[in-house]
Structure 1
Amino acid sequence: MELKNRKTITISELAEILGLSDHAIRSNLWRGADMPPRIKVGRRVLFPVDGLDAWLSKKKEGIVPGVPRKRGRPRKGTA
């Protein structure tokens, strides 16, 4: 997908880039999850490409290689 000449992308195109389904993107938007900045034009949701690039780089900075993520539910009394 060529994004250099585009200013915005659709939910389907974002889903393809992130490796998610359209439904997962819509669900994350509805739940208020951390997603790239978006613009609503009528009923259509569009994502600016420059905002997507900034969001992805911010997400990439938060990843620390070699440090495993804690999984599962937190236990009582641990912080």
Structure 2
Amino acid sequence: MLTSVMKQYMKHIYLLADPTDQVIPLQVANALGVYPSAVSRMTRKLADYGLIKYEHYRNLRLTKEGKQLGQTLVKHH
């Protein structure tokens, strides 16, 4: 089950994603007002849920499921 903080991250990742569904982690940190290390910890958790693909020191990429969740979160807020 996703927490409200996880949903907030997913919403911002979705909104920041480029046409190839990639996001630079520093963009997420800036948008949420958190340290990049906090983004790294959260992206590992979101990757465990299959919502993003994440490689250390690389961009994040939304999975199909992550993109669908992001769309749903944006519609509901």
TM-score (ref. length: structure 1): 0.39
Higher helix share: 2
Larger radius of gyration: 1
Higher RCO structure, 1 or 2 (CA under 8 Å, sep 6+): 2
